[in-house]
Amino acid sequence: MNDLVRQHTALSDTDLEWLHLLVSEWQLLSDLSFADLVLWVPTRDGTRYVSVAQMRPNTGPTSYQDDMVGHLVPRGRRPLLDAALDEGRIVREGDPEWREEVPVRVESIPVRRDGRVLGVIARNTNLLTVRTPSRLELTYLQSASDLAQMIAAGSFPFPGQQVDMDASPRVGDGLIRLDADGIVQYASPNGLSAYHRLGLASDLVGHHLGTVTAELAPSRGPVDEALVKMASGYAPREFEVECAGGVIQLRAIPLKPKGVRIGSLVLLRDVTELRRRERELITKDATIREIHHRVKNNLQTVAALLRLQSRRMDSEQGREALNEAVRRVGSIAIVHETLSQNLDERVEFDEIADRVIAMVSEISPGKVTCRRIGRFGILDAEVATPLSMVLTEVLQNALEHAFTLADHGTVEVSAVRGGSPTEGRLLITVTDDGRGLPEGFDPKQAGNLGLQIVRTLVEGELGGAFGMVPAPERGTQVVLDLPVQGLK
């Protein structure tokens, strides 16, 4: 719609925002009218109309099988559009049109904003299935007529009240029509069923909806006056009412076809099961986070016990082995700590990588600097846990074997994401400028426990490739090529 309006018309950005607000609401008018809606806006030179939006009803058959958006028609070809635009009134006169052997009643509703007519809504009703209307259909049509008059007067939609139609109640979910005092004139079967779910044992017609709603809602004190007012439809509001029997979502729409409120339209939907599932998901998420938090605490306890044990050992080699185990357990604990703070099983691995680098840097034998460049991005938990261990082992290996106590050096961790989010790769290189690999060293045959862990995790669990080669200038470079999925 933005492109069509800016290309063909002289409407301002504020006018365009008004049309967007109208289009976000007009499913309501379409469903109440049992009719298709097409929004026509005059072109910049005033010689033609361009259709910028279209809506089909959920309550009846469509009048248009084809998409009308983008069509241009010259002024004069559709007299009802001309009359509504020029005279600023709803135009209903005229015989039905025949489209593919289907009779269609056409009406035109001017769209007004701040006293100016911006365009015209063509309301097209398929008459092929017309029958004697029921009380429900008569209520629908009367409400549609009131809304159409409000659009023509510029009082609907309501400024600052943009509604998410996917989340709000629709006409078919349940409808209640109130008079100016908030007394129920009509309640659709679905609307009445929703109130029965809340505990209403009688009919709604003839009762004050605000008072009934407040009495059904649980309260330890006096009647909730705010709830009474909201359910009475004095102002456009969307709210929920919950009691032991269920939850209903309500949307109140004041009806002011001639500038004075004559009543209200209340749309409502039973959202009991939806809210129950949402609570279950919230509980599940909270449980998962608590599990990760407890696993992290347990791992930290294990690390503390290993650290205590290492201090009691006389063997230097044994102490070092236990300290390595402490760092391995710590890297896994970091992942679980991050997962305990998230709502899903994904983590931003850059934070984890930085903490692993800081943890391993504590064993640096000399003045060696560790730094990260590039981004790991967001990774699934099943990738993050083994990858944190791999990164710990590779960094630990570099710091222990590449430098002496007197060395100054650098260890650089580089991460590059490539490919699509669903079929991507993560290329990690860990490069040091230390003494380099011993002559004849083969990383695939090396018996070092750390390298064995790396090979097993990278090739077995992560399904990637592991390589260890001389760095381009000096030192050693470890290359990890991993398949990853998820967001970058």
Res. 403 pLDDT band, cuts 50 70 90: confident
Helix (H) or strand (E) segment spanning residue 230: helix 225-231
User: What is the pLDDT confidence band of residue 169, given thresholds at 50, 70 and 90?
Assistant: very high
Residue 435 has pLDDT above 80, yes or no: yes
* pLDDT at 186 exceeding the cut of 90: yes
Instruction: For the beta carbon of residue 39, count every other beta carbon within 10 angstroms.
Output: 27
Bond preceding residue 470 cis, omega within 30 of 0: no
Q: How far is CA 462 from CA 37, 337, 384, in A?
A: 54, 21, 10
pLDDT at 289: 76
Q: Distance between CA 141 and CA 153 in Å, rounded?
A: 18
Angle between helices 272-311 and 316-339 (to 10 degrees): 170
Residue 423 CB coordination number (10 Å): 9
Predicted local confidence at residue 443, as pLDDT: 72
Query: Which contiguous run of DSSP H or E holds residue 171?
Result: none
Is residue 48 predicted with pLDDT exceeding 90?
Answer: yes
Q: Is 69 exposed, middle or buried (0-12, 13-18, 19+ CB in 10 A)?
A: middle
485 to 91, 331, 425: CA distances (angstroms) = 57, 22, 8
pLDDT tens sequence across 325-382: 888 888 888 888 877 777 667 888 898 899 888 888 876 656 788 889 999 988 888 8
Residue 102 pLDDT > 90, yes or no? no
pLDDT digits (tens, 9 = 90+) for 254-305: 999 988 999 999 999 999 888 888 887 777 777 777 887 888 888 888 888 8
Q: Mean of the pLDDT values across residues 403-430? A: 80
Distance CA 254, CA 270 (A): 21
Q: Tell me, what's the pLDDT at 447?
A: 59
Residue type, 69: V
Q: Which residues of 317-329 are buried (b: 16+ CB within 10 A; e: fewer)?
A: eebeebbbbbbbb
Cα separation of the two ends of the chain: 31
CA distances 362 to 314, 368, 370, 400, 406, Å, are 22, 10, 10, 11, 16
Alpha helices in 251-380 (DSSP H): 272-311, 316-339, 349-361
In the predicted structure, residue 221 carries a pLDDT above the cut 70: no
Nearest-angstrom CA–CA distance, 402 and 422 = 37
List C-alpha distances in Å: 296 to 329, 341, 352, 414.
10, 12, 14, 27
The structure tokens listed for 241 are 């009412």
In the chain, % of residues over pLDDT 70: 93
Least-confidence region, from 132-141, 241-250, 283-292, 320-329: 283-292
Average pLDDT over residues 53-70: 91
The residues, any chain, with a CB within 8 Å of residue 90's CB and separated by 6 or more, are 84, 107, 108, 109, 110, 148, 149, 152
Return d(Cα 185, Cα 261) in angstroms, integer: 15
Q: Which residues pair with 119 in a beta bridge?
A: 111
Residue 18 reports pLDDT greater than 90: yes
> Which of these, 96, 115, 110, lies nearest to 152 by C-alpha position?
110
| Host H or E run for residue 134 | none
Residue 223 — very low, low, confident or very high, per pLDDT cuts 50/70/90? low
What residues have CB less than 8 Å from 169, skipping those under 6 apart?
A: 249, 250, 251, 267, 268, 269
Mean pLDDT score, 199-203:
90
Question: Tell me, what's the pLDDT at 182?
Answer: 94
Per-residue pLDDT at 172: 92
In the chain, % of residues over pLDDT 90: 43
- Output the pLDDT for position 27: 94
410: left (phi over 0), alpha (psi -120 to 50) or beta: beta
What mean pLDDT is predicted for residues 155-159? 90
Mean pLDDT is lowest, of 61-65, 100-104, 223-227, 356-360, for 223-227
Query: Which one is predicted more confidently, 369 or 171?
Result: 171
Q: Which two tokens stand for residue 5?
A: 């309006």
Q: What is the mean pLDDT of the chain?
A: 87
Q: Which two tokens stand for residue 388?
A: 């944190």
| Residue 162: pLDDT band with limits 50, 70, 90 | low
Check pLDDT > 70 for residue 419.
no
CB 484 within 8 A of CB 417: yes
Checking if the pLDDT of 165 tops 70, the result is no
Decide if pLDDT at 413 tops 60. Answer: yes
Helical spans, DSSP H, in 312-380:
316-339, 349-361
Helical residues (DSSP H) of 312-448, grouped into ranges: 316-339, 349-361, 381-401
